[in-house]
Amino acid sequence: MTANTTDTGRRGGADRGRTGLLLLTSVILAGCEGQQSALAPSGEDARVLGNLFWVMLGGAVILWLLVNGLFFYVTRINRAALSRRFANGLIVGGGVIFPTIVLGGLLTYGLSIMPDQRAPGDGLTLRVTGEQWWWRVEYWPEGAETPIVAANEIRLPAGERSEIRLDSARVIHSFWIPSLGGKMDMFPGRETRMSLKPEVAGRWRGQCAEFCGASHALMAFEVVAMPPDDFNAWLQAQAAPATSPTTDAARRGARIFAREGCGACHAVRGTGARGAVGPDLTHVGSRLSLGAGTLTTTLADFERWIAHTGAIKPEVEMPGYGHLGAAELADLAQYLKGLE
Ligand code: CUA
């Protein structure tokens, strides 16, 4: 009876162990999926880097097995003293020749894929500037003399390689879209360059990958790859000035926007707002996020953002406009949401 109970208890423990292991494995693997994963590549560059990772991991696993196999052999299977000749052979073979060949091979493979990460683009150039804590984005189609300015969202034509020129306003940031390619640092006063080629249309998430201050973790962006025709139509719409407000609430919101001096920092092209300190808001209503990947662009989130910027994004430069009444916040949200 006792033996039986113990046996059942042990089996229960083993079952729990297996369930736990399964759960842990699925949680870990689930982390590899999704919109922001270097192990779920959707771009040519991310695929190359993903392959590099698996080749390196394979190399590491083989080395680990060899070293531990050898350790197991000399401690458990053959504990007799080794001859000096064998020991010398082991040191030269296992300590010099073998690592030189393996590491040399991995290094050659790693270096051979490097130039691809800087491949020239097919026509579209983007300039992305890291700000505290958001992204200034300029699109330069081939032959353009002035850029189309946007913010906090990167759109790319699928199947085409776009060149991305990066710099920063004040501190070092790092531009990273794990599903599409590697990361590239952004330096104040020095331009870095990379190119990306999304293989399919889709939506992903990018993230600043270099600690840049209090809201570094809240410096994200949405990434959308569109079929080239759709992309060109979208870009043309972005180049257009802002639409006029169509409802009474939005018109009141536009007046509050002007009265509160929002135009000193933000531009709404086609209106008197020409500020360049903060994100261009000409088409903010059609963006996929607010506050650089922090909130959505629902009316409620517009209101939350305007009233509580500092609580949502610590140390952000935009002051909160909590002194506005609920009705005024609602009107302002209607105006901004209407800027599509
Ligand atoms: Cu920008 Cu971290």
pLDDT at 70: 87
Does the beta carbon of 133 lie inside 6 Å of ligand 1?
yes
In this structure, are residues 165 and 128 in contact, taking their beta carbons and an 8 Å threshold?
yes
pLDDT surpassing 50 at residue 249: yes
| Among protein residues, the one whose CA lies closest to atom 1 of ligand 1 | 173
Distance CA 142, CA 195 (A): 15
Rounded to the nearest angstrom, the distance between the alpha carbon of 132 and the centre of ligand 1 is 8
CB of 135 closer than 6 A to ligand 1? no
Cβ count within 10 A of residue 244: 11
218 lines ligand 1 (CB under 6 A): no
Predicted confidence (pLDDT) per residue in 6-57, tens digit: 555 555 566 666 676 666 666 565 656 778 888 888 999 999 999 999 988 9
- pLDDT in the model for residue 27: 59
Q: Work out the pLDDT band at 258, boundaries 50, 70, 90.
A: very high
For 303, phi then psi, to 5°, come to -65, -45
208 close to ligand 1 (CB < 6 Angstrom): yes
DSSP 278: S
pLDDT band at 2 (very low <50, low <70, confident <90, very high): very low
8-12, 93-97, 298-302: segment of lowest average pLDDT? 8-12
pLDDT(227) > 80:
yes
So what's the pLDDT on residue 30? Answer: 60
User: Whole-prediction pTM value?
Assistant: 0.84
- pLDDT computed for residue 123 by the predictor: 85
So what's the pLDDT on residue 118? 75
Going from the Cα of 170 to the center of ligand 1, the distance in angstroms, rounded, reads 11
The pLDDT-based confidence of 238 (bands split at 50, 70, 90) is very high
Cβ contact 116:45 at 8 Å: yes
Specify the DSSP class assigned to residue 95.
Answer: I
Question: How far, in Å, CA of 231 to CA of 210, rounded?
Answer: 29
Write out the H or E segment, with its range, that includes residue 221: strand 220-226
Q: 143 CA distance to ligand 1 centroid (A)?
A: 31
Q: What is the mean pLDDT of residues 167-176?
A: 96
Q: What does the pLDDT look like over 60-74, one tens digit per residue?
A: 898 899 889 989 988
* DSSP tally for the chain: helices H, then strands E: 9, 10
Residue 252 banded pLDDT, cuts 50, 70, 90: very high
> 219: Cβ below 6 Å to ligand 1?
yes
Higher pLDDT, 80 or 128: 128
Is 144 a residue whose pLDDT tops 70? yes
* The predicted structure's pLDDT at residue 265: 96
C-beta 211 within 6 A of ligand 1: yes
Q: What is the pLDDT of residue 99?
A: 87
**How remote is the CA of residue 172 from the centroid of ligand 1, in Å?**
7
Ligand 1 touching residue 216 (CB < 6 A): yes
120 pLDDT tier (thresholds 50, 70, 90): confident
The atom number, within ligand 1, closest to the CA of 212 reads 2
| pLDDT recorded at residue 37 | 86
Give residue 25's pLDDT.
Answer: 64
Residue-averaged pLDDT of the chain: 90
Pick the atom of ligand 1 nearest to 209's CA: 2
Chain centroid to CA 111: 24
pLDDT at 8 (0 to 100): 52
For ligand 1, say whether the CB of 212 is within 6 Å of any of its atoms.
yes
Tell which atom from ligand 1 comes closest to the C-alpha of 130: 1
The minimum-distance atom of ligand 1 relative to the CA of 210 is 2
Position in ligand 1 atom list of the atom nearest CA 172: 1
Counting Cβ atoms within 10 Å, is residue 126 exposed (0-12), middle (13-18) or buried (19+)? buried
Ligand 1 near 166 CB (within 6 A): no
The pLDDT of residue 311 is above 90? yes
For position 106, what pLDDT does the model report?
Answer: 86
Q: Provide the pLDDT for residue 3.
A: 45
Confidence of residue 86 (pLDDT cuts 50, 70, 90): confident
